[in-house]
Structure 1
Amino acid sequence: MTLNMNNLAIAPILLPLATAAIMVALGERRRTIKAVLGVLSTMMTLGIAVSLLLFADSAPAGEPAAISVYLVGNWAAPYGIVLVVDRLSSLMLVLASTVVLAGQLYSIARWHSAGMFFHALVQLLLMGLNGAFLTGDLFNLFVFFEVMLAASYGLVLHGSGAPRVKAGLHYIAVNLAASSLFLIGASLIYGAAGTLNMADLAARVPILPDDERMLMEAGAAILGVAFLVKAGMWPLCFWLPSAYALAVPPVAAIFSIMTKVGIYVILRLWPMVFGVDAGASAFFGGNWLLVGGILTVVFGVIGLLASQDLPRMAAYNVIISSGTLLAAIAAGSSGVTAGALFYLISSTLAVSAFFLLIDLIERGRIPGADVLVVTMEALSEEDEEEPDAADPVGIAIPATMAILGIGFAACALLLAGLPPLTGFVAKFLMLHAMFLPDGVAVGAHEVNGTTPTLGALSWTLMAVLLMSGFAVMVAMARAGVRVFWVPMESTVPKVRFLEMVPIVALLLLCATLTVQAGPVARFMDATAKSIHAPEGYVRGVLDKPRKRPEQPVIDGQPATAPTTTQEVSP
């Protein structure tokens, strides 16, 4: 079982890579075949990810989590490349495959033919995402990061058009700068610690001398900036609203997982390398992360309330989601992190569905309808004519608009964090954990036996979470009224069955998570505890032995040969 899981760990990387190579060889005239291949590949990747998730969650209660380590080239850590499957990485694999599959299905009806090599780029993007979630060292994280970004450059420009190209070029320039910072930070870390393996870093940081510790922290700060650019933290998120709002809908839906890569890396590295056992570097940068997360939420709320068109509203919801997650990670509590993981899944699925839904809603409206409605409200006279009693009151809502309205309401509930859906459950778990005895540790982390207390920043975080939910509810309600109740010149959009399937599937997944909130919360809690107690991850990676070659068998007995080399463990 363990051996099979070890071998299966590389499949989420190899399968999309092989599929992309086949698609490029097929050329551009066989879009239908490539669409079928892409969907099948992503479905198989999703099935593998689910199998890895079940394996990672298979450890009995009270025992260490099941961790699968794949040694690429049969070189043991920290010298070789390792792929690590645990609860967190397998959870992100499932989420990435789900979102990519939804975007692929939606694109087949219309958008995949708006540019070249769409399905191949999506497979390369999926490969980069899976590799980033699975890798156990910073160098290969950079490699998969660049594969993911290179594919996203082509996807963000998919569909052409001057506004989209302009926003796409900004996106490319910002991410190239972030990649340069990534290299600089990783180089400084290697110069100080002598390793880029995450588990090995966790073992070496506590014993670093002071001069090398300063270099290590400088490299970590620069590396953190690169990840925070990708995560969309204020003020590094200025590129995000235009890039996401102007991307074609299936690409924007897939990009909802992109900011979560930066979130994942911070969630993986910060508790492991700068956790309680990091010595003088314990909780390095935690307060900055919390303040940055809070300011990101505030910025997202302001942008959301100021937005007049639906795509930009969805983009600012992505920023609010990132800020909430960054602040929750900085809280330093496993209970808050468990709620944040629940929120990560809920918000990603909801934003992805919202981007797809917007395309269907906007399809039947005249361009700039939202701005026209605002103008009409601002210039309308106070005295209006009384309606004739014989005139019908209200407008008839066709079935298509009714379905779209229900989907819009579901997205609004999820993004605002209102009951009964998963957004409320996730925020409730985070707020509840803040008031536990071992709750928020920001500014007062539990060190040397002291008990953390709820500080001013923690109260601010709680207020921001509640305020952001209220602001999202107001903005979404206002937009819903303008779209579905104001009688503008519009037609009922023509919606294909294939376009509704991924939207309904994403919303049903959120509903399923709500119904199964108990088991899901248990899984998130176990995942959060393993994140904040990474000893099992570190031991699993560093103690993983190389696979010895099988000995030949002669006359039913294993043949022995004189040993000429000796394997030395690091």
Structure 2
Amino acid sequence: MSGWQQHLIILPILIPLFAAVALVPMDETRRRSKVAIGVVAVLLQLAVALYWVVVADRVEGSAPAAVYLLANWDSPVAISLALDRLNALMLLLNAVLAIAALIFAAAKWDRVGVHFHVLFQLLLMGINGAFLTNDLFNLFVFFEVMLAASYGLLLHGSGRVRVKAGLHYIAVNLVASSIFLVGVALMYSASGTLNMADMAYKVATLGAADRQLFETGAAVLAVAFLIKSAIWPLNFWLPASYGAAVAPVSAIFAIMTKVGFYVLLRLWLLVFGESAGVSSSFGAAWLVGLGLITLGYAIFGMLAATNFKRFAGFSVIASAGTLLTAIPLGGSQGTAAALYYLLASTLAVAAFYLLVDLLDRIRDFSASLLAVTIESFEAEGMILPEESEVGVAIPAAMAFLALSFGLCLLVLSGLPPLSGFVGKFALLVSALGSEAGSAMQYAVWLFVILLVVAGFAATLTLTRLGIQLFWVPERHKKPRLRLAEAGPLTALIGLTVLITLAAGPVLGYLQRAADALHAPAAYIEGVLGALPKDRQATPSQHSSLLSGEHEDEGARL
């Protein structure tokens, strides 16, 4: 890869950063300019993500497609960014959700408070950085950028409900950040490094005392990620917080729990893989147990849900439990199935949050308009004219909403023939057929039962809520939708259909990504063998790092 192409790895971080810097001094009255800058920024992120998805898939084996050493320091001292199939996919998913949420927000919601576009770009920067970094402390930095921006976005629009939910959300995540730092400190004190690939290289050589300290740090660090992944009993904050946010914010928040899952997946397979010696598969039973409990908890939450937003929150929790269980249970095939399920569920939940905002207009459009005006536009000078709220009617709006609801129901409940069913079926097949699953037969069968029951619970709840909404004639109002609102919703639902039609190629890509995660030797070698720009790494240099030179360098440091 040529020199200029290597620098493209940092663009998903720099593009939203520069966009945020450009947006900060702009007055709130310059709304069109802000929207234009934001849309251009997310389109550029989408283009870069697509580029890296293609480039990463051309790499043989598990070697990273690119490694970027910040400040041109030697590895592993340098803060490194590494890109492979997995984080290229996550960058693409983040960019897709960002475009849909931003366009939807431009129809109305970006005007209900200040600095929406700045916070939105900073959120994207934090998420992208968390996906790309190979350094634990840098991961903490990007987590904090992401969380700080999410605090402002959750409170965007003001109102008592959002402030109450926001305070709970902030308190929980501040505790998670403190736990994060403690875990990082313990792992660093045991291994002497913050580079994740370097930790994976050293973990098998740790003495008994250092290994216990390292595993303790990993367990503490996992608690922080489990809070962010919405795993029981640390997920009580999610339904109220996500439900209180404005619709486009809830949609982009759909990927935030997946950031925690991504880090757990990356770290667990990288650091505690087969090459970790005594520490191999550390915490596997805990991951499976917590995942199953979370899935069971989500089932009861979905059945008890009395509104769409509450159901959506518990649907996010159900996907979190499903994904956590699949990490150690299904092997490489299970990881690929979990990644496919991640794509389908994230797109569907984001689309559902946007849809719920539009469905509110069916119940009582004039009352809904009044509520939005009072609650969301209460800030002085931000009350919008009525015609901007109503928008331009699209043809057959009622039929459009009903069809969108039906498609979301199919994906979220895992009913055939859409991607939700494909993902769940692949998970079941992998769990029943994997060697890892044979060692935990009771867990496998419980996972199968809970996954099926979760589908029935989602179907039952959405059918009940849908009947209350669509089959009560006196509540029907003729909704008027903007194209800027219907377009993003259509795109997200369309993508769930597209990955169903292209399930073969998509699962093929995800299987290659999963195979690389389960055999990370080339990834570790690629990260640790990366040299500064003024020196070129040769194959012999890469090999020498793993055969002894790396240890000598660590001793000198």
When normalised by structure 2's length, the TM-score is 0.89
What is the correspondence of 1:419-498 to structure 2 with a 5 Å cutoff?
419-436=416-433, 439=434, 441=436, 452-453=438-439, 455-498=441-484
* Higher-Rg member (1/2): 1
Distance 1:145 1:5 in 2: 26
1:142-221 paired onto structure 2 within 5 Å: 142-221=140-219
Partner of residue 44, structure 1: 44
Secondary structure in 2 matching 1:70: strand
Offset, 1:490: 3.9
User: Are the aligned partners of 1:57 and 1:66 in contact in 2 as well (CA < 8 Å)?
Assistant: no
Matched, 1:536 2:522: yes
Query: Deviation digits for residues 36-94 of structure 1, max 9, x if unmatched?
Result: 1101100100110110110000135xx55552101111112210011111000100000
Once the two structures are TM-superposed, the CA of residue 487 in structure 1 deviates from its matched residue by 2.5
Return the letter of the residue paired with 1:243. S
**Which amino acid counterpart does residue 441 of structure 1 have in structure 2?**
A
> What letter corresponds to residue 404 of structure 2 in structure 1?
G
The code of the aligned residue for 1:6 comes to Q
Larger RCO (CA within 8 A; separation ≥ 6): 2
The 1:4/1:92 distance shift into structure 2, 3 A limit, reads same
> In structure 2, do the counterparts of structure 1 residues 6 and 540 end up closer, same or farther at CA, with 3 Å as the change threshold?
same
CA displacement 1:409-454 (0-9 Å, x = unmatched)? 1001001111111111111111111233xx0515xxxxxxxxx545
Give the partner amino acid of 2:488: P
- In structure 2, the partner of 1:102 is 100
Q: Please report how far the alpha carbon of residue 27 of structure 1 lies from its aligned counterpart in structure 2 after TM superposition.
A: 2.5
CA–CA distance in 2 between the matches of 1:332 and 1:569?
38
How much has 1:135 moved relative to structure 2?
A: 0.2
Q: Which amino acid counterpart does residue 364 of structure 1 have in structure 2? A: I
Query: Which stretch shifts more, 255-264 or 421-430?
Result: 421-430
Distance 1:292 1:355, change over 3 A: same
Residue 516 (structure 1) aligned with residue 502 (structure 2) = yes
Code of the aligned partner of 1:427: K
Partner of residue 361 from structure 1, selected from 359, 364, 378? 359
- Structure 1 residues 432 and 324: alpha-carbon distance in aligned structure 2, compared to 1, 3 A threshold: same
In the TM superposition, residue 309 of structure 1 has moved relative to its aligned partner by 0.8
Q: Determine the C-alpha separation between the residues in 2 that align with 1:469 and 1:506.
A: 21
Conserved in 2, the CA contact under 8 Å of 1:76 and 1:542? no
Q: Aligned AA for 1:430?
A: L
Greater Cα shift, 487-496 or 226-235: 487-496
| RMSD between superposed Cα atoms in Å | 1.6
- 1:360-416 Cα distance to aligned partner (Å, 9 max, x none): 00123149x9xxxxxxxxxxxxxxxxxxxxxxxxxxxx9211110100010010011
Matched residue, 2:53: 53
The 1:287/1:453 distance shift into structure 2, 3 A limit, reads: closer
**Residue 332 (structure 1) shift:** 5.2
CA distance in 2, matches of 1:149, 1:64: 31
Task: Sort the Cα spacing of 1:135 and 1:164 in 2 relative to 1 into closer, same or farther, 3 A.
Answer: same
Q: Does 1:117 align with 2:103?
A: no
The Cα shift of 1:95 comes to 0.4
Moved more, 187-196 or 472-481: 472-481
Residue 242 of structure 2 aligns with which residue? Answer: 244
2: distance between equivalents of 1:218 and 1:258? 25
Inter-partner Cα distance in structure 2 for 1:513 and 1:181: 37
Paired residue type of 1:433: S
Match of 1:24 in 2: 24
- Aligned residue pairs total 511
**Aligned CA distance change for structure 1 residues 406 and 199 (closer, same or farther; 3 Å):** same
- Contact kept in structure 1, 2:331 and 2:436, CA below 8 Å: yes
The letter for the 2-side match of 1:522 is: G
1:365-380 to 2 correspondences below 5 Å: 365-366=363-364
The residue that corresponds to 2:413 in the other structure is 416
- Alpha-carbon contact 2:62-2:520 (below 8 Å) kept: no
Tell whether the 8 Å contact from 2:136 to 2:194 is kept in structure 1 after alignment. yes
Please name the residue that 2:513 is paired with. Answer: 527
Alpha-carbon separation, structure 2, partners of 1:492 and 1:505? 23
When the two structures are superposed, what TM-score results if normalisation uses the length of structure 1?
Answer: 0.87
Rounded Cα–Cα distance in structure 1 between residues aligned with 2:474 and 2:262: 43
The answer (yes or no) to whether the contact 2:413–2:454 under 8 Å persists in 1 is yes
Decide which of 259, 268, 284 is 1:270's aligned counterpart. Answer: 268
8 A contact 1:57–1:65 mirrored in 2: no
The aligned amino acid for 1:307 is A
Moved more, 2-11 or 106-115: 2-11
2:453 & 2:435 partners in 1: Cα distance? Answer: 19
Match of 2:378 in 1: none
Q: Which has the higher helix share?
A: 2
Mark the runs of 5 or more structure 2 residues left unpaired by the alignment.
Answer: 368-394, 537-551
| Counterparts of 1:164 and 1:214, CA distance in 2 | 42
CA offsets, 1:542-568, max 9 Å, x none? Answer: 011121179xxxxxxxxxxxxxxxxx9
- Give the conservation status (yes or no) of the 8 Å contact 1:233–1:323: yes
- For 1:111 and 1:174, how far apart are their aligned partners in 2? 26
Shift of 1:469: 1.1
CA 1:259–1:64: 2 relative to 1, 3 Å = closer
Q: Is the 8 A contact 2:341 2:423 kept in 1?
A: yes
Residue type matched to 2:89 in 1?
L
Between the aligned partners of 1:363 and 1:86, the Cα distance in structure 2 is 43
Which range moves more in the overlay, 465-474 or 166-175? 465-474
Is the CA contact 1:434–1:454 (under 8 Å) kept in the aligned structure 2? no
Q: Counterpart in 1 of 2:544?
A: none
Question: CA distance change for structure 1 residues 355 and 480 in 2, over 3 Å: closer, same or farther?
Answer: same
Paired amino acid for 1:429: A
Instruction: Report if aligned partners of 1:58, 1:66 keep a CA contact under 8 Å in 2.
Output: no
